[in-house]
Amino acid sequence: MKKLLASVLVCVCVFFMTACSTPMKSATKRENKLNSTFTAKMNISLEKFNAEGTITRSGDGRWETEFESPNTLSGVKLVFEENTVKASYKGLDFSVPKSAIPVKAMLLNLIEAVDTSARETELTGEEKEGLFCMEGSLEGGEYSLSLDSSGNIHTFEMPNNLLKIAFSEVSASGTPVSPAVSETTACTTETTAETTTTTTC
């Protein structure tokens, strides 16, 4: 009986020592470089559907994509701005084609995830295999957004939707320029006794 109790105590001690020696995952802070204008090549995998093209972020809520493949989407542009999505092909505007509707929905998830993170002062995530990984939840499901060592977008995934968007050749060009604010100049006119008119702006 004493030997049995001794064996149990040894097992318990080994268990606690192992648990204490296992490092806990801790969140890491990183400077936020997402709030920038950038252009990148993208490769979209959505279930059995695959597409390639170029994507550009010009500001919060302002994005544009142009597809190179498949043939049904080649040359099609989608412009996301002010909560609207416009499609065009060689300068001609038209409604979003049926073949692009699933991709459009997934791109809207990407845009929401990136723009939301871009508004933060610092990013919180986990270093994993040379990437900085952030996780979150959208109305469309759970997502993972990964950045490379330079802080540029690398991959966007939504496992429940079988979606993965990989980015390459990312070219960032600094903080988006805010729309110019028009200045109003007030002018006053004074008339003297000698009928001389003076205008001050």
- pLDDT digit string (tens) for 62-114? 999 999 999 999 999 999 998 899 999 988 888 887 878 888 999 999 999 99
Between vectors from CA 37 to CA 152 and to CA 87, what angle results, nearest 5°?
110
1-51 residue pLDDT tens: 545 445 544 454 444 444 443 344 567 888 999 999 999 999 999 988 999
The answer to whether residue 153 is domain-embedded is yes
> Which domain range does residue 114 map to?
31-170
Greater pLDDT, 58 or 21: 58
Higher-confidence position of 195 and 75: 75
pLDDT at 188: 44
Output 100 or 167, whichever has higher pLDDT.
Answer: 167
Contacts with 181 (C-beta within 8 Å, 6 or more apart), sequence order: none
In a domain, 3, yes or no: no
Which pLDDT belongs to residue 79?
Answer: 95
> b/e for 159-174, b at 16 or more Cβ within 10 A?
eebebbbbbeebebee
CATH label of the domain that carries residue 89: 2.50.20.10
For residue 71 the two structure tokens come to 């043939």
Domain-located, residue 115: yes
Per-residue DSSP letters for 101-144?
A: HHHHHHHHHHHHHHHHHHTSSEEEEEEETTEEEEEEEETTEEEE
Most confident of 77-91, 110-124, 179-193: 110-124
Residue 9 domain-assigned?
no
Answer whether residue 112 is part of any domain: yes
Average pLDDT over residues 113-122: 95
**Domain annotation covers residue 182:** no
Q: Is residue 14 part of a domain?
A: no
Indicate the number of domains in the chain. 1
Q: Please indicate, yes or no, if residue 177 is contained in any of the structural domains.
A: no
Predicted confidence at residue 16, as pLDDT, reads 44
